Structure 1
């Protein structure tokens, strides 16, 4: 397929643009990098990753140009890498980090995208439910969501922290907090996963049953192809609502920072894994943990799966809510997406604006031009 032939060019473009962003992060760390995420990596790690990106962008882009495949995309990769080198490359001077009330999480975006793609693209090629190119229909839209959710991480955290802290001040339970805080971190983590998953599942069900909320959540369900990147398609309003609803009980009940941080890591891993294009049979684990097949059926374009499998981590939560439904053994959905495709438009900006305006149908709706 044409998308397969242009892989090297697109990888070159992705790495070249990422390298350029990385150099800018070195020049303006206080504005472009996340304060919380900076503590998770060293300057040497960032420089080495930048160097690898620059070399790979030049090599892959040059190969694509010589093979005359997607030359425009390849030139974007080589050109971006060249500009990055002119701005300092991997030896760029590191400016002192000044204090700012907010910043963009471009470092979080670049590193997260790099390693997610590095891990999941090869695995999905080997163990796919349905073989498809990473450059499948709609990948640019999902990449835009991935970008926005990571770049706006600090603003989301500020909004969520403000809302949860305000409510927590009026809902203190000293005895319960003391009991939870007396537990070891591993026990707090397990309880936090259950409490957070229950809170999110209840809100998730509301998204499906309250028409106004569904219009925001329909954006997530509009994906017609399921893979590691598809899980990023979430409306920013839903991100704010969900993060607040999930973190609120954890803050109110007094879980330790270590337990909450461990839960946040689990969310990041499982959210990607649950949407991944992986045919792995987890067997009895499908009764214990939310797996790709379990969550894929939640996205199925079939009436009998519209109101089931809301849990993000634990099927036990769905069992308690009466919404657990295990699919026939070994089977996967024939089709994904909302039931009324024409109600969700194509493209990031159109989907962002869709829930804010009147209900309507669109001529360019999700997957309208797919065969």
Structure 2
């Protein structure tokens, strides 16, 4: 019980800290950069916690996947993500020049609206990447590792990341939700997302019904299809609860194994990062999951 309370207080405290940081920097022209620095701090914190309180000690040992995870981080979140954030408003203006107008609502209302829309778009994109073979060929990169730790949180195929961004972040912009509301959502969801793959023995208890914690996300990475096709949410588990894709066994257990389903064993190993990038364009692509 004490450990559960401590875990809950830790996560909620991090979310509260990010809310305070956002509020203190709301007039700062460098707010985006400040929040990016906070993200790096959360990543470092997660890496330290994995050494102090590991769920599985063997998951802290490299399996030939670390170099690919770092490459994906640099490629997708170091370069591509910045470009997508910059280009998104221009894309909306180009596609919907007469339909987009600013939402006339307080910022806190827009943050709630942004959260619901982004989380739904993320859920839909994630579900589709598991449902359709062509999209699964992109998403398989993320599921190819056989352990979960902080850095494979960033192992995404660039095209997978583009689709996720389009479905999650373009709709709220098209609805006229202020970019600052999207940034607020990003700040508030950051602790959940950056701890989602962490190899840390947290016990979040009732928070598992609200947030897509690392405990819930481990089920999503299970090699068993009935477990690995659940918990598609981004930071929240709201849309999984509504659409019946929520999975959290009453008895605290763990997936028997982490990685790809048996039907995707032809997919390149995590050590072959470049082959994974090329896989969706190969003749062997798009087999069953």
TM-score where L is the length of structure 2: 0.78
- CA spacing shift, 1:39–1:295, aligned 2, 3 Å: closer
Contact 1:168 1:248 in 2 (8 A): no
Query: Is 1:352 aligned with 2:277?
Result: yes
Contact 1:294 1:327 in 2 (8 A): no
CA distance in 2, matches of 1:236, 1:112: 24
Offset, 1:341: 2.7
Which of the residues 219, 236, 243 maps onto 1:297? Answer: 219
Contact 2:173 2:179 in 1 (8 A): no
2:74 aligned partner = 147
Counting only pairs closer than 5 Å after superposition, residues 1-371 of structure 1 correspond to structure 2 as 40=33, 115-132=41-58, 134-137=60-63, 138-152=65-79, 153-169=81-97, 171-172=99-100, 178=103, 181-182=104-105, 184-339=106-261, 340-345=264-269, 346-359=271-284
- CA spacing shift, 1:354–1:198, aligned 2, 3 Å: same
The structure having more radius of gyration, on CA atoms, is 1
- Tell me, what secondary structure is at the counterpart of 1:323? coil
1:71 aligned partner = none
Q: How many residues align?
A: 252
Q: Which moved more, 1:256-265 or 1:295-304?
A: 256-265
Greater relative contact order (Cα 8 A, min sep 6): structure 1 or 2?
Answer: 2
1:103-127 alpha-carbon deviations (Å, 9 max, x no partner)? xxxxx6xx67863453112211222
- CA spacing shift, 1:348–1:158, aligned 2, 3 Å: farther
- CA spacing shift, 1:324–1:144, aligned 2, 3 Å: same
CA distance in 2, matches of 1:341, 1:187: 46
Contact 2:137 2:285 in 1 (8 A): no
1:307-328 alpha-carbon deviations (Å, 9 max, x no partner)? 2111112222112122112134
Q: Which runs of 5+ in 1 are unaligned?
A: 1-35, 42-107, 362-371
Offset, 1:267: 4.5
CA distance in 2, matches of 1:328, 1:298: 16
1:48-101 alpha-carbon deviations (Å, 9 max, x no partner)? xxxxxxxxxxxxxxxxxxxxxxxxxxxxxxxxxxxxxxxxxxxxxxxxxxxxxx
Runs of 4+ residues deviating >6 angstroms: 36-39
- CA spacing shift, 1:326–1:134, aligned 2, 3 Å: closer
Contact 2:129 2:139 in 1 (8 A): yes
- Tell me, what secondary structure is at the counterpart of 1:265? helix
Q: CA RMSD in A?
A: 2.5
Q: Which runs of 5+ in 2 are unaligned?
A: 1-28
